[in-house]
Structure 1
Amino acid sequence: MTRTLSAQHDRFALSRPFRISRGVKVAADVVTVTVNGDGATGRGEGVPYPRYGESIDSTLAQIEGIRPVIEAGADRQALLSLLPPGAARNAIDCALWDWDAQRGGRTVAALLDAPEPERLASALTVVIDTPEAMEAAAREIAGAPLLKVKVDAIDPEAQLRAVRRGAPAASLIVDPNESWTESLVRELQPLLVEMNVALLEQPVPAGEDAWLEGFTPAVPICADESVHVADDLEQVARRYQAVNVKLDKAGGLTAALDLAAAARARGLGLMTGCMVCSSLSIAPALHVARLSDHADLDGPVWLREDRPGGVRDRGGWLTPPDRGFWGNA
């Protein structure tokens, strides 16, 4: 078997700024991996995240470092020991899933002995802005079943009340992106109940969450930055009620499925999330989303122009990509 692997930096401009507590994005910078050989082409995408010490250059260097091994035939299981969890491993792993499906004339769902992806509810994000702007943004998407609300520590009460006024009926996930303190989490419990919040995502920094082991929240708290792979769950399960599974954190669909299964075995709730990305990141994530309680996969919704044939959002309902886009489905 002759197989080649290539990787490149692709940039997708956003239609509007994506503002969270730790900064603002105006473009999605991704690494696209392509595997060619045996009459098939597989693609995968990784999104390097500075929060985890990643950059486009470091991700491309990681991929180049193991390219000869992958071209020599290393499979997805071997990949788990060749690279640590992160964007580089994710891009290669997903490209290999796609390549295996294309080469065998089967879908990734068939390889997993699982149902094909279907339309699902996926959160639409309201980013940080003035309360007035956040209310207006929420009103525009108020018909969606689930909203993700980005907040900070400056005036989260005003932000949440504004979004709730704009979208009185939507289920809410509140995401401070590690910007809150223990005291603020405790102080805002009654407000979260009053606002009928379904999930509070990673309110405090990952290295400052030990106090959660003795805390009973009024609203379930979901780990994001605190959980990457299944080995993290022994500690995480003592502190959180749910976990956010992201392929870029886990390092691919292979590890993400392992994390999802291990989390369920511990009785934890599941959310499938993403970075700001193209549909090439979302297509494999749909195979985790079908196992989850919540999906937050609106990364491509923020792009000025997505990859052709990608996922489509209609009022908070996400439709899988066109057949042949990824995974032969």
Structure 2
Amino acid sequence: MTQLKLAARRETLRLAAPFRISGHVFENCDVIVATLSDGEHEGRGEGGGVYYLGDDADHMLADIEKARSAIEAGIDREGLLQTMPAGGGRNAIDCALWELEARRQATPTWQVAGINQPQPVVTTFTLGADTPEAMAAGATRYAEAQAIKVKLTGELNLDISRVAAIRAARDDVWIGVDANQGFAVGELDRLVRALVDCNVSLLEQPLARGCENDLIGFDCPIPLAADESALTSADVASLVGKFSVFNIKLDKCGGLTEALITAKRCREAGLEVMVGNMVGTSLAMAPAYILAQLCDYVDLDGPTFLAKDRDPSISYAKGKVRCDQNVWGYAG
């Protein structure tokens, strides 16, 4: 194995405006950028961690340092799955290994992954929780959006008003809502009836992680997506019969390698697949864009919330996201 040199640093990303979800308000976020070099080629990866699991920048850096000797000895992606736990730290290293491998082979990352050349895909654009009027105005400002994702807070009457206002402002778009664990099981019937009235097409994580069994037998006319309940491929089997969609995030599962394994297992189990993101730059979105080519639902709008993205960056046009190889991978 070729010896590698590892560098890992913390970066603080500033949000253009505060972003509110159920139980949290974000104004900035710390990410870890990992670089792996073999002396001739270099690979990069960005990890943002999972806030509700305590996977912050300190934790990510600690995970990386514990594995440093194995990584620098020339670890491959399969070995990394056995060496580091799932999370943002492994995500950063795994994606750096993907880019390094692509550059060594002078081959695009999508080709290394064994998928067709990526094409622009429709992505959701997310509205943070606010007043119904402010969220309706925000939906209007997303003039080119084909799909909008609405953050709820678990305040049932207010959330229903929020969705109704957004639908009234935009009767032309696909709408999904993300509850971020905000509701109790007894509130679901009323919530779902209101969502059906507003032609909502996806309900994400209505109940707290750990309450998945409360969804057994719940006949929901809207597809239910697991997010906080869905971390890695090991969770797929346990979610069948409770959810119909598995939201894969590279920071949760620990990189593109595990994400592709998870997507395959979801298909085998009859679950639809979604790709999402924690807040991050285009460097974090680029590997997820490869996964997006295999997904039924795509939520890769993280860089739109930043005061400043990386250059080069992914692009958004007519409600779709596009990522060229010069952002991450082998550009030729």
Q: TM-score range by the shorter chain?
A: over 0.9
Per the TM alignment, residue 98 of structure 1 is displaced from its structure 2 partner at its CA by: 0.5
**Is residue 268 of structure 2 the alignment partner of residue 257 of structure 1?**
no
Matching of residues 288-299 of structure 1 within 5 Å: 288-299=291-302
Counterpart pick for 2:305 among 287, 294, 302: 302
Where structure 1 has 5 or more consecutive residues not aligned to the other structure, the ranges are: none
Matched with 1:136 is: 137
Matched with 1:145 is: 146
**Is residue 316 of structure 2 the alignment partner of residue 316 of structure 1?**
no
3-state DSSP class of the match of 2:216?
A: helix
User: In 2, Cα distance between the equivalents of 1:281 and 1:22?
Assistant: 24
TM-score (norm 2): 0.96
Matched with 1:183 is: 186
3-state DSSP class of the match of 2:70?
A: helix
Matched with 1:225 is: 228
User: In 1, Cα distance between the equivalents of 2:85 and 2:154?
Assistant: 32
Matched with 1:162 is: 165
TM-score (norm 1): 0.97
Per the TM alignment, residue 49 of structure 1 is displaced from its structure 2 partner at its CA by: 2.2
Counterpart pick for 1:204 among 203, 207, 222: 207
3-state DSSP class of the match of 2:270?
A: coil
Matched with 1:105 is: 106
Per the TM alignment, residue 209 of structure 1 is displaced from its structure 2 partner at its CA by: 2.2
Matched with 2:32 is: 31
Per the TM alignment, residue 112 of structure 1 is displaced from its structure 2 partner at its CA by: 1.8
- 8 Å CA contact 1:5–1:35 kept in 2: the answer is yes
Query: Any idea what the Cα deviations from partners look like across 1:47-66, whole Å, max 9, x if unmatched?
Result: 12220121111110110111
Q: How many pairs were matched up? A: 328
Which residue type is aligned with residue 27 of structure 2?
V
Matching of residues 27-66 of structure 1 within 5 Å: 27-66=28-67
**Worse-superposed segment, 243-252 or 139-148:** 139-148
3-state DSSP class of the match of 1:313?
A: strand
Identity percentage over the alignment? 38
**Is residue 309 of structure 2 the alignment partner of residue 328 of structure 1?**
no
Which residue type is aligned with residue 326 of structure 1?
W
User: In 1, Cα distance between the equivalents of 2:110 and 2:191?
Assistant: 42
Per the TM alignment, residue 28 of structure 1 is displaced from its structure 2 partner at its CA by: 2.9
- 8 Å CA contact 2:50–2:56 kept in 1: the answer is yes
User: In 1, Cα distance between the equivalents of 2:146 and 2:204?
Assistant: 18
Query: Any idea what the Cα deviations from partners look like across 1:166-208, whole Å, max 9, x if unmatched?
Result: 2111101100100011111122221111111111000110111
- 8 Å CA contact 1:142–1:166 kept in 2: the answer is no
**Is residue 86 of structure 2 the alignment partner of residue 85 of structure 1?**
yes
Counterpart pick for 1:275 among 275, 278, 289: 278
- 8 Å CA contact 1:142–1:169 kept in 2: the answer is no
Matched with 2:245 is: 242
**Worse-superposed segment, 208-217 or 123-132:** 208-217
3-state DSSP class of the match of 1:275?
A: coil
Which residue type is aligned with residue 240 of structure 2?
A
Per the TM alignment, residue 275 of structure 1 is displaced from its structure 2 partner at its CA by: 0.5
**Is residue 12 of structure 2 the alignment partner of residue 3 of structure 1?**
no
Matched with 1:123 is: 124
Aligned Cα RMSD in Å? 1.2
User: In 2, Cα distance between the equivalents of 1:270 and 1:36?
Assistant: 33
User: In 2, Cα distance between the equivalents of 1:192 and 1:325?
Assistant: 38
Which residue type is aligned with residue 268 of structure 2?
A
Which residue type is aligned with residue 46 of structure 1?
G
Query: Any idea what the Cα deviations from partners look like across 1:294-324, whole Å, max 9, x if unmatched?
Result: 1000000111110101111124211114x33
Which residue type is aligned with residue 10 of structure 1?
E
- 8 Å CA contact 2:87–2:251 kept in 1: the answer is yes
User: In 2, Cα distance between the equivalents of 1:118 and 1:311?
Assistant: 12
User: In 2, Cα distance between the equivalents of 1:104 and 1:325?
Assistant: 17
Per the TM alignment, residue 38 of structure 1 is displaced from its structure 2 partner at its CA by: 4.1
